[in-house]
């Protein structure tokens, strides 16, 4: 047996430590310090009220009029995502996804449309198992894709005999919550559980566990000598060894947590608008805050070397009352969109403040999407395809895929979910293609179709093997100044600029000392390319600068005036 799942709470967040011969080996032998966070959206997210179709908005509205997000003429209307996308990919975000829009504009979000698997049957439990095991609809693996990835990647040290050690003090995967999910399992695992209440008390509690202070008779139920070499004896001995390891891991995480500083970034705690009471509290942000603190550990490489985290947010099974009957932009789903969007915006800012942003990538998962048409209860029923969101400085930002065919009953598959994971493993975790194809997913999900009816398997540029200027080029294609003309100028100058959101735009002329000599523009503009003309006849000859400010963008260029 090779896996222990040890639950406790740290910083008020329930956690599980995944510790096995592969998981605990990884930190000491990994060739990179990259971290993957899997954000589980429990219940099946409604992708069509997350990403609202633009070109086919009238059809979208006709299929779900009682829950449709307004496109215009409303204070709370959809947020246009990206004016540079092709018409068949144009979408608007839910109005409570302002944080996600900001991250997208900064080149820190990738989105994939139409993600599913062949013969998706819309089952919560089966859907989660399939997504976690990394198999097809008719596979029943006892292991998960992350467990197989870790098992194949590293040298054959054995747990628990060799771990923890001086080179590897940390568990390699941590799961938030009280469940033991399939994703980290390898073949023939038996998870063991230990519950601890709070960061100040759990170390003392672990040290005082019955059995750690042995006086000849083991109160944990050690088998009689005659059974020592029996299957029962070996199994129990393995479990007791894992229980002993939990003491070391719990103490280690407690020490790292206490050495780290609380965040300087304010995380959102509650949904600021109307929603049922159970949806108001943001249950995701405490998990993200904890991860940031554990990875930081006080700085200077003192944080945990944990490679994979699983965080969870529930409430997406929105058969009824997905929206408020008096306002389709509010309700349960709106609160969930806010929690994820604002939570991820704060988390990225926290990582950036701690100098960790280039190490962490987050990918969402949900067992299925919802139907294209709404039901009579202001909700949506189980569907098939959905959308996946990837956050981080290391993404290849942008949109992959097209708006779904809204004439269908379900969102059709464009990409198999394993293709998302396979490309992230390749480009973010730097796993070899042969390992991905032969040992993790057992099929080639990196190029060429391999399962009839299960999507397009072309290469997906979702993450960066080497973080370069991808984000900057993405931003520059959507925001900033184009050249003015004529330049040099005598009387009239035409200024042009790009913006990718509706925002206040300020354009000033500055002299060589940086003093504002003329305000050319200061007003709200829609997304797109704009041009404005200004007179410079009253300015003397010389060198000037024209400066654009819009949102987070501030850019200056030279202008020469001649007489």
For residue 71, give both structure tokens: 């496109």
106 vs 356: CA distance, rounded Å? 17
DSSP bridge partners of 255: none
User: 3-class SS at 515?
Assistant: coil
Buried-exposed string 199-224: b where 16+ CB fall within 10 A, e elsewhere: beebbeebeebeeeeeeeeeeeebbe
What DSSP line would sit under 455-508, residue for residue? ---S----B-SS--SHHHHHHHTTSEE---BSSSBSSEEEEEEEESSSEEEEEE
Residues contacting residue 224 through CB under 8 Å, at least 6 positions apart:
none
508 vs 549: CA distance, rounded Å? 9
371 vs 322: CA distance, rounded Å? 13
> In terms of Cα–Cα distance, which of 195, 216, 217 is closest to 206?
195
User: 3-class SS at 521?
Assistant: strand
387: left (phi over 0), alpha (psi -120 to 50) or beta: beta
Q: pLDDT (tens digit, 0 to 9) for every residue of the chain, 563 residues total?
A: 333 444 555 555 665 554 443 343 334 445 578 999 999 999 999 999 999 999 999 999 999 999 999 999 889 999 999 999 999 999 999 999 999 999 999 999 999 999 999 999 899 999 999 999 999 999 999 888 988 887 776 435 444 456 666 766 777 788 887 676 888 886 655 332 232 233 344 444 444 444 434 444 444 455 555 555 665 555 555 555 555 566 677 788 888 989 999 999 999 999 999 999 999 999 999 989 989 999 999 888 899 888 889 899 999 999 999 999 999 999 999 999 999 999 999 999 999 999 999 999 999 999 999 999 999 999 999 999 999 999 999 999 999 999 999 999 999 999 999 999 999 999 999 999 999 998 899 888 887 666 777 777 778 999 999 998 889 999 999 999 999 999 999 999 999 999 999 899 999 999 999 999 999 999 999 999 999 999 999 999 999 999 999 989 999 999 999 99
Cβ proximity of 103 and 348 under 8 Å: yes
Cβ proximity of 510 and 547 under 8 Å: yes
User: 3-class SS at 26?
Assistant: helix
Question: Which pTM was predicted?
Answer: 0.87
Counting Cα atoms < 13 Å in the Cβ hemisphere of 542 gives: 11
Give, in degrees to the nearest 5, the angle at Cα 448 between 447 and 453: 130
Architecture of domain 479-561: Sandwich (2.60)
36 vs 372: CA distance, rounded Å? 31
38 vs 352: CA distance, rounded Å? 19
Residues contacting residue 23 through CB under 8 Å, at least 6 positions apart:
3, 147, 150, 159, 171, 172, 173, 184
Q: Which residue has the tokens 């519950």?
A: 195
Model pLDDT, residue 220: 47
Domain residue limits, the chain: 3-201+239-472, 479-561
DSSP bridge partners of 370: 382
312: enclosing H helix or E strand: strand 308-313
> In terms of Cα–Cα distance, which of 447, 458, 551 is closest to 503?
551
Residue 535: how many other CB atoms lie within 10 Å: 12
Model pLDDT, residue 392: 98
DSSP bridge partners of 41: 313
CA 207 to chain centre: 35
372 vs 402: CA distance, rounded Å? 15
Taking the C-alpha atoms of 477, 478, 479 and 481 in order, what is their torsion angle to the nearest 10 degrees? Answer: 50
Residue 156: how many other CB atoms lie within 10 Å: 8
Beta-sheet pairing, 109-116 with 492-499:
unpaired
Q: Which residue has the tokens 């307004």?
A: 70
């Amino acid at each position: 047996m090779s896996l222990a799942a040890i639950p406790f709470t740290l910083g008020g967040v329930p956690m599980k430590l995944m510790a096995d011969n592969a998981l605990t080996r990884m930190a000491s032998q990994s060739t990179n310090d990259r971290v993957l966070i899997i954000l589980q959206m429990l219940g099946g997210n409604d992708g069509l009220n997350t990403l609202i179709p633009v070109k086919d908005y009238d059809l979208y509205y006709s299929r779900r009029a009682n829950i449709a997000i307004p496109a215009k003429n409303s204070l709370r209307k959809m947020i246009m995502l990206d004016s540079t996308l092709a018409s068949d990919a144009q979408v608007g975000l839910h109005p409570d996804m302002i944080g996600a829009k900001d991250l997208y504009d900064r080149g820190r979000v990738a989105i994939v449309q139409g993600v599913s698997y062949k013969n998706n049957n819309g089952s919560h439990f089966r859907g989660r198992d399939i997504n976690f095991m990394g198999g097809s609809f008719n596979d029943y693996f006892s292991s998960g894709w992350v467990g197989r990835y870790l098992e194949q990647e590293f040298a054959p040290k054995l747990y628990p005999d060799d771990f923890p050690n001086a080179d590897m003090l940390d568990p390699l995967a941590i799961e938030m919550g009280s469940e033991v999910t399939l994703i980290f399992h390898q073949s023939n695992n038996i998870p063991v559980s230990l519950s601890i209440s709070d960061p100040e008390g759990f170390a003392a509690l672990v040290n005082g566990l019955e059995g750690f202070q042995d006086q000849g008779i083991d109160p944990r139920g050690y088998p009689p000598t005659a059974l020592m070499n029996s299957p029962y004896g070996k199994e129990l001995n393995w479990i007791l060894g894992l229980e002993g390891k939990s003491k070391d891991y719990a103490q280690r995480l407690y020490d790292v947590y206490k050495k780290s500083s609380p965040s300087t970034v304010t995380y959102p705690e509650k949904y600021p608008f109307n929603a049922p009471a159970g949806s108001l509290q943001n249950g995701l942000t405490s998990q993200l805050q904890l991860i940031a603190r554990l990875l930081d550990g006080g700085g200077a490489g003192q944080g945990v070397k944990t490679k994979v985290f699983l965080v969870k947010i529930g409430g997406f099974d929105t058969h009824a009352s997905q929206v408020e009957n008096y306002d389709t932009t509010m309700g349960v789903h709106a609160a969930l969109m806010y929690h994820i969007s604002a939570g991820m915006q704060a988390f990225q800012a926290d990582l950036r403040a701690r100098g960790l942003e280039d190490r962490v990538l987050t990918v969402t998962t949900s067992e299925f999407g919802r139907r294209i048409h709404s039901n009579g209860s202001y909700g949506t029923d189980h569907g098939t395809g959905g959308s996946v969101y990837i956050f981080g400085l290391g993404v290849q930002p942008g949109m992959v895929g097209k708006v779904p065919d809204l004439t269908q009953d379900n969102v059709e598959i464009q990409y198999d979910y394993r293709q998302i994971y396979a490309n992230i493993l390749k480009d973010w975790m730097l796993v070899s293609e042969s390992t991905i194809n032969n040992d993790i997913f057992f099929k080639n999900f990196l190029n060429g179709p391999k399962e009839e009816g299960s999507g397009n398997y072309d290469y997906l540029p979702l993450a960066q093997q080497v973080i370069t200027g991808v984000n900057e080029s993405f931003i520059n294609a959507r925001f900033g100044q184009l050249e003015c003309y004529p330049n040099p100028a005598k009387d009239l100058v035409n200024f042009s600029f790009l913006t990718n959101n509706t925002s206040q735009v300020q354009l000033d002329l500055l002299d060589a000392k940086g003093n504002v000599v003329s305000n050319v523009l200061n007003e709200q503009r829609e997304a797109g390319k704009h041009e404005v003309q200004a007179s410079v006849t009253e300015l003397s000859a010389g060198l000037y600068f024209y400066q654009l400010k819009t949102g987070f963008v501030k850019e200056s260029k030279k202008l020469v005036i001649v007489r």
